[in-house]
Amino acid sequence: MISARIVVAGGGFAGIRCLGVLRRRSPELSLTLVDPARESVFRPLLPDVIAGKIGLSRLLFPLNRFCSRLRADFINDAAAGIAGNDLLLASGRKLPFDHLVVASGAGPAFFGNETARQAAFTLYSAGDAEKLRERIEKAISAGRPHSFVVVGGGYTGLETASAIAWRIRRTVPPARQGAFSVRIVELAPRILGRLPDRIALPAERETRNLGIAISVSARIGAISPQAMEVNGETIRDFTLIWSAGVAAGAFVGGIDSPRDRQGRLAVGPDLRLPGRENIWALGDCASFTDGKDALRMAVQFSRAQGEAAAINIRRGIRGEAPIAFRPRDLGWLIPLASWRAWGEALGRPVGGRLGALLHYAMCVYRTHRVADRFGIAGDLFRALFHAGS
């Protein structure tokens, strides 16, 4: 009979998928999930919460209930380190394991700018969404001129900026909308810099059509609670939203193992850490290279890695050799709040309303609970109806 202690640090897409596959195929295993949050959040739809399209509760998946149904233990604590075959928790507890899955995700990268870290809003968690939504509502209610400055012209920056612009457009009377501005600040010469023009250019045009200003090759100066400087211009009465990059967290940073420039753990073809037979890294905290480039951070890859790691853990317990992870790229999309998205699906470019339809269809499909799938779909239909009215 298969008997082993499997500990998963992180209840995101990769961790949840790994646990689910393990329990389905090996009911005898001892499974434990460790996460400092009580709920897993469906992060790809957080901008839609800001835009007012979807209720936040639809995106929350209670981890304790998930573990209860799975007959797994849930420990509401933060992973802090690894000592031998023990996972060290922030509470001081030691958790022994036979196999450890590191799937703790990634967070915003401030590149040593502590002033920005203290002043900026981010959009990585349910708490982040609540705080930013409250900030936007407070600024709108005050009725004074206000600037929303989004630092970072990548996927997340465009999605967040468009969500704020959409919320202003839908909730502020036209005569007052001019008091509010949304601006993307990008340090590189162009937004979406690594994407081909056939994707980046229409996405940029739609962003500008939403009334969003774009500053490229920008220089960010001093930042304080009262003002910030962009290209020598002083901006007052502002909200700073940081979307300028991602980095692995402190737990991953403390693991003695090779990593990439974002601090993500380098993994081998079978998703294990080099030199460790029983430690696996998955999802956004892992750097998997298939060829010359590291696999990008995406829900589809996190889920696929979760399943692949579960299969390899079972093989390892039975004394069998692991199987190399071979990702299949179904595509990617950059959704904007105006019900349009651009990207690729199965290697072909897609854009406009078709792109948005594909984005939301995949999000609904990948939501963990059936009730939330119906809830999200209902919220989106209502939001689309009001947008057309």
Per-position b or e across 137-174, b if 16+ CB within 10 A of its CB:
eebbeeeeebbbbbbbbbbbbbbbbbbbbbbbbeeeee
- Number of domains the chain is built from: 2
Q: What is the distance between the alpha carbons of residues 19 and 32, in angstroms, rounded to a whole number? A: 9
301 domain-assigned = yes
The tens digit of pLDDT for each residue in 344-375 reads 999 999 999 999 999 999 999 999 999 999 99
Q: What is the CATH number of the domain that holds 95?
A: 3.50.50.60
Q: Name the residue type at position 184.
A: I
Domain boundary pick from 308, 329, 350: 329
The tens digit of pLDDT for each residue in 192-213 reads 988 999 999 999 999 999 999 9
Q: What is the distance between the alpha carbons of residues 336 and 242, in angstroms, rounded to a whole number? A: 17
381 domain-assigned = yes
End-to-end CA distance of the chain: 61
Residue 113: other Cβ atoms inside 10 A: 16
Give the position of tokens 């949304």.
182
What average pLDDT score do residues 152-172 get? 96
Instruction: Indicate if 160 and 95 belong to the same structural domain.
Output: no
The tens digit of pLDDT for each residue in 236-253 reads 999 999 999 898 889 999
Which of 114, 132, 105, 118 has the alpha carbon at shortest distance from 41? Answer: 105
165 domain-assigned = yes
Coil vs helix vs strand at 125: coil
pLDDT score, position 388: 66
Rounded to 5°, the CA angle 29-266-105 comes to 65
> Beta 60-62 vs 39-41: how paired, if at all?
antiparallel
Instruction: Indicate if 104 and 140 belong to the same structural domain.
Output: no
Instruction: Indicate if 128 and 238 belong to the same structural domain.
Output: yes
Coil vs helix vs strand at 232: coil
- Structural domain range at position 291: 5-36+77-108+246-329
Give the position of tokens 């502590």.
114
pLDDT score, position 1: 46
